[in-house]
Amino acid sequence: MILNLDPQFNPFPNQKSIEYKSFLFSGGEPHIKIDNNFNTDDTITVTHRLQSFNDVGLLLLTVDALQRMGVKKIKAFIPYFPAARQDRLMVAGESLSVKVYADLVNTLQLDQVLVYDPHSEVTPALLNNCTTITNYTFIEKVISTLNNNVLLISPDGGALKKIYKVSEFLGGKEVVECSKSRDVKTGKLSGFKVYADDLEGRDCLVVDDICDGGGTFNGLAQELKNKNAGNLYLAVSHGIFSKGLESLSSYYNGIFTTDSFNTITKQPKVTQIPLATLLA
C-alpha cells in the first residue's frame, strides 16, 4: 500500500492509496490524521517530494503515526533527497546538511529508503537501508526521442563518475567531459571548459542530477556552441529551475526532467517524464 503525502505525486499508481488528512496548525506545525481502514500487516510505502523542512516534518509525523497504528513494515520513497548537494564542508560555519537530514530519516528505522539519482555517494552512505534508483531509464527514454548520434555531456567533475555508467548502460555512448569552477564563498560560477576541440555539429545531451538556478547549464551551453555543437538538450533528474526556464530555453532545444521535485505547468521546451513511467 502507498501513502502519498503530495497529492500531485503518485509514483506507484498500481498500489492502493491510504487516505489521510493533513494540515498546518496555526502555530506552524504540520499535522496528519490517517484513516484506519487498511490492514496494518501490509507494508506501507510513504512517498513525498521534500521541498521544505515542513515537508520533512510531515514525513516524520506520518511514519510515527503509522508505527503507532501498529504498522511494522514501512518504507519511504524520497526521490529528491534534501541537501544531497551539501555533502561536504566547503566553508567554516556551514552545516553538513545532508547528514542532518539523513540522521532524522534514520531515526524512523525504516525498512527501506528509496532515493532517486542522489547527487553523490554520500547520501546512500549516510542513510540506513537506502536503495538508490539510477537515472538510466530516464536518459534512455530521453535519447529515444533524439537523434541517436547524440553525444552525452558531463557538465562537471561531480557528474563524471555517473555519466560513464549511463553510457555503459546505453551500450557505450560517447561522452564529452566538461568542467566549471565555483567560488565556494559566493557560489559564483566561472571558467566553463569543454574537453573537445571540435564537436562537428553533433547534437549534445547534457546530463546531470539537478538543475537549480541553471547557471551551470547556461554557461556550459555557450562553451558547447563555441566548440561547434549542434542542437543542445538538457536532462536533469531533479528540475528545481529556481530562476525559471526562459534563459535555459534560449540555449536548449529541449529540456527534460522527472517529477521528483515538483510538477511543472506546461512549458514549450520542457518535457516532464513522470517517475511512475520510469519505475514501472
Ligand X SMILES: O=P(O)(O)OC[C@H]1O[C@@H](O)[C@H](O)[C@@H]1O
Query: Given the complex with ligand X, which of 57 and 239 has the nearer CB atom?
Result: 239
Cα 244 from Cα 241, distance rounded (Å): 5
Cell (9 digits) for 180: 566549471
CB crowding 217-246: b at 16 or more within 10 Å, else e: bbbbbeebeebebbebbbbbbbbbbeeebe
Q: Does 156 bind ligand X (CB under 6 A)?
A: yes
Residue 187 CB, shortest distance to ligand X, in Å, is: 8
Q: Does 117 bind ligand X (CB under 6 A)?
A: no
Q: Does 118 bind ligand X (CB under 6 A)?
A: no
- φ and ψ at 29, to 5 degrees? -90, 130
Asked whether 17 and 30 are in contact (CB, 8 A), the reply is no
The CA radius of gyration of the chain, in Å to the nearest whole number, is 20
Q: Does 223 bind ligand X (CB under 6 A)?
A: no
Query: Given the complex with ligand X, which of 44 and 220 has the nearer CB atom?
Result: 220
Cα 105 from Cα 246, distance rounded (Å): 36
Q: Does 158 bind ligand X (CB under 6 A)?
A: yes
The single residue among 128, 212, 249, 279 that binds ligand X, judged by CB under 6 A, is: 212
Q: Does 177 bind ligand X (CB under 6 A)?
A: no
Q: Does 203 bind ligand X (CB under 6 A)?
A: no
Query: Given the complex with ligand X, which of 57 and 155 has the nearer CB atom?
Result: 155
Cα 160 from Cα 163, distance rounded (Å): 5
Q: Does 124 bind ligand X (CB under 6 A)?
A: no
Residue 140 pairs with which residues in a beta bridge? none
The single residue among 32, 115, 142, 210 that binds ligand X, judged by CB under 6 A, is: 210
Q: Does 85 bind ligand X (CB under 6 A)?
A: yes
Site for ligand X, rule CB under 6 A: 85, 119, 155-156, 158, 208-216
